Amino acid sequence: MNRLARLMIRSKQALLTELRQKGFRMTPQRERVIDIFYDLPAGEHLNAEDLYRLLKSETRDISLATTYRALKLLASVGVLREEELTEDGKFYELARDEEAPHYHLICTTCGLTTEFESPLMLNEATQVATAFGFELKDMQLKLQATCLPDKPDCPNRQSR
Ligand SMILES: [Zn+2]
Ligand SMILES: [Zn+2]
């Protein structure tokens, strides 16, 4: 089981070229949204409100509805991946060219998210799908947990 490095992400230039070839209309706002996701530290995800707040701090001319639409649109063309990580609605991250899906471990107290992949779980899921007559296409898995008291990267860690 390994933590993921963000190696499998297409370069932004390659992505923009691909979108243009598909006839996607790139606006400055959509390009800014893509930029924000490229700048996001590994393991971080944004929901519409997070993104809206970020965009709002840069430009006055944006509404929450426009932000929602931009996210939906970018997810529909495969730029972003949509996941339900917490009760705060859908979260987004850059879609990666990865052979195996990655999963999320989320702390229900501080919200810290760790990504991992697991060939074992993928294998199990493939077998379950096959047993019921399906072909597995994708898998989303969210493990809800709480940070152990001495977890080094927990923002709420008690300093001793
Ligand atoms: Zn993720
Ligand atoms: Zn935590």
Distance 49 CA to ligand 2 centre (A): 21
Residues 79-132 have pLDDT tens digits of 899 988 877 789 999 887 666 788 999 999 888 888 888 889 999 999 999 999
Residues 132-148 have pLDDT tens digits of 999 998 888 899 999 99
Tokens of 119: 């060939």
Protein residues near ligand 2, an ion, with CB under 5 A = 107, 109-110, 112, 147, 154
Percent composition of the chain: helix, strand, coil (DSSP 3-state, to 5)? 35, 20, 45
Binned at pLDDT 50, 70 and 90, residue 6 comes out as: very low
User: pTM (2 decimals)?
Assistant: 0.74
Torsion of CA 38, 39, 42, 43, to 10 degrees: -80
Distance 112 CA to ligand 2 centre (A): 5
